[in-house]
Amino acid sequence: MKIYKLICCGWLLLLCQSVWAQKNLVSNGGFEDDLNDWNGSENAKITPWDLKAGKGSCAIIVSTNANWVGINQAGRVPKNALGMEFSAWIKTNNVVKGQNEWMGAIYSIEFLDRYDKKIGDGENLARLTGDNEWAQFKKAVKVPAGAVSFKILLAMGYASGTMLVDEVSAKVLNTEEVTKL
C-alpha cells in the first residue's frame, strides 16, 4: 500500500510540475535546428564555437554599418495573456554603431494586432556596442490591448561587428507576476 501511495504522489508531483511549467513560445530559440522558424535566415549563421548552451548559437556578422541586418520570428499571444516575459542571451564582438544613438546590436519586441499592424512603440530589450560577454537580457511586459501576436527582432541596426544570440524565449506571466509590473 505504501508503494502505491508513493507512485500516486510521484505522478501527482509530475503532473503539477508540467501544469506550472511555463512554455517557451519561441520556436527553435536555442538554434539547435539551424535557423528554422526564423525569418531573414540569409542574414545569419549558426556557430558551434561560441555559444551559451546546446550545440550552437546564432551569429549575425556585418562588415559595414550601412544596413539593418537581422532575423525575426513572430508568435501568437495566448488567449487571456496579460503579460509576457522575453529573454535572450547575447554576446557582441567589436560592434560599432552608425551615427544615431539607437543603432547597434538590437534585441527588441513588437506586439501586433489582428491586421499585423504594430501596436505602440515596441520594447527595446538591448542595444549593445563594443565587446560584451554573454549576458541575459530579460524583460517582463504587459500585453497591450488588442495584441494577438508578437515579433522578436534580433539585428545589427546600422552597425558593424558580430552579434551572437542563444536561448531566446517568450513566456506568459501568471496573474501575480503581471500585478508586479
What is the DSSP track for 55-92? S-EEEEEES-SSSEEEEEEEEEPPTT--EEEEEEEEEE
Residue-by-residue pLDDT tens, the chain, 181 positions: 555 454 444 444 444 433 445 799 999 999 999 999 999 989 999 999 999 999 999 999 999 988 999 999 999 999 999 999 999 999 999 999 988 888 999 999 999 999 999 998 999 999 999 999 999 999 999 999 999 999 999 999 999 999 999 999 999 998 778 777 7
pLDDT value, residue 111? 97
- Assigned CATH topology for domain 23-179: Jelly Rolls (2.60.120)
- Nearest CA to 83 out of 107, 109, 57, 106 is that of 109
49: DSSP letter = S
65, 38 contact by CB (below 8 A): no
Please list, in sequence order, all residues whose beta carbon lies within 8 angstroms of the beta carbon of residue 92, skipping any fewer than 6 positions away: 105, 128, 129, 130, 131, 132, 161, 162, 163, 164
Instruction: For residue 129, give the H/E element and its range.
Output: none
Whole-number pLDDT of residue 13: 43
* CA separation, residue 56 to residues 17, 60, 137 (Å): 28, 13, 19
C-alpha cell of residue 14:
509530475
Separation CA 156–CA 175 (nearest Å) = 35
pLDDT of residue 180: 75
